[in-house]
Amino acid sequence: MNLIFEGNCWKFGHNIPTDMITPTHLVMRGMDEMVKHVLENANPDFPSKVQKGDIIVAGRNFGCSSGRAIAPKAIKATGVGAVLAEFFSRTFYRNGPEIGLPILEVRGIHDFVETGHRLRVNIESGLVQNLTTGASIQGEPLSGILLDMLNAGGLIPLLKTEAGQQLLQQ
């Protein structure tokens, strides 16, 4: 999997709970309906204007609250290329790579960008380039099994590989 993404930034605040990512009343309506409402309570334009490859940037504690894996799945279904945050809730941090959603923790990212800036993100190296301003910032690259999951497209695809089978035997 190519882990370099370029897209327009959608900036969100701190402490964005999974209930704001995927409103509770829509969870049982299916992914097609849920995608029409991802993050709409944080930015009403997001669901209708997000483009394939765009990049979500958030502050501290993105994906807090419930541990529903449906939140990163819904974000991935919008076509977002990657999600960057100062730091993620621990559950979201694990759920993202498990379903093949590229994530990156980047201290200082919230003050580094604005909505509409053009970004290039290298998940493997952790480098984030703001193509609008010309500045760069270094994030904390994923490693180990989290990177293996992303490269495979998620946990299930990883387990279907020879490397995944070796993990199961350990």
Tell me the per-residue pLDDT of 81-119, one tens digit each, with 9 for 90 and over: 999 999 999 999 999 999 999 999 999 999 999 999 999
Structural contact between residues 57 and 113, judged by C-beta atoms closer than 8 angstroms: yes
The HSE-up count of residue 79 (CA atoms within 13 Å, CB side) is: 14
Which domain CATH number covers 165? 3.20.19.10
Structural domain including 53 reads 4-169
Over residues 26-84, the pLDDT tens digits come to: 777 888 888 999 999 999 999 999 999 999 999 999 999 876 788 999 999 999 999 99
Domain total of the chain:
1
The predicted model scores a pTM of 0.93
Structural contact between residues 113 and 119, judged by C-beta atoms closer than 8 angstroms: yes
